[in-house]
């Protein structure tokens, strides 16, 4: 999970692909296959920028042998990260106020200690 202040940047296709590359670069396990599950946000995921970077990772840099890119049917899927967001929401209900971005990082990490990996 990546966090950053809204004032630091947008969440368009360039930012999303940069976050994906950061995740890949920090992953220490060699992987042959990348599986992505995205919503259908044209501005963030479902666009030429994302397709180009995935093509480059497979055919130019040979980081992966294959990429599977899934778009679940809207309203008919329940992904593991949906539960994570629910747990974060429950955790923040018990907190009076959040003033610093680092406090959000702490809330997110405490919501599900054994599952969330946070990169700031």
Model-level pTM? 0.73
Give, to the nearest 10 degrees, the angle between helix 48-55 and helix 13-26: 30
Mind listing the pLDDT tens digit of every residue in the chain (120 residues)?
Answer: 788 777 777 778 888 899 999 999 998 888 899 998 887 777 766 788 999 999 999 999 999 999 998 887 777 667 777 788 888 888 888 888 888 888 988 888 888 765 555 555
Alpha helices, DSSP H, located in the chain? 13-26, 48-55, 80-93, 101-111
SS (H, E, C) 36-67: EECCCCCCCCCCHHHHHHHHHHHHHCCCCCEE
pLDDT at 74: 72
């Amino acid at each position: 999970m990546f966090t950053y202040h809204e004032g630091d940047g947008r969440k368009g296709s360039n930012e999303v692909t940069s976050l994906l590359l950061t995740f890949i670069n920090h992953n220490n396990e060699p992987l042959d296959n990348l599986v992505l599950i995205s919503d259908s946000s044209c501005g963030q995921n479902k666009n030429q920028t994302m397709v180009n970077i995935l093509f480059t990772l497979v055919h130019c840099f040979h980081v992966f042998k294959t990429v599977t890119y899934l778009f679940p049917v809207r309203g008919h899927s329940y992904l593991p990260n949906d539960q994570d967001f629910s747990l974060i929401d429950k955790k923040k209900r018990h907190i009076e106020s959040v003033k610093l971005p680092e406090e959000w990082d702490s809330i997110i990490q405490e919501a599900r200690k054994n599952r969330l990996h946070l990169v700031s």
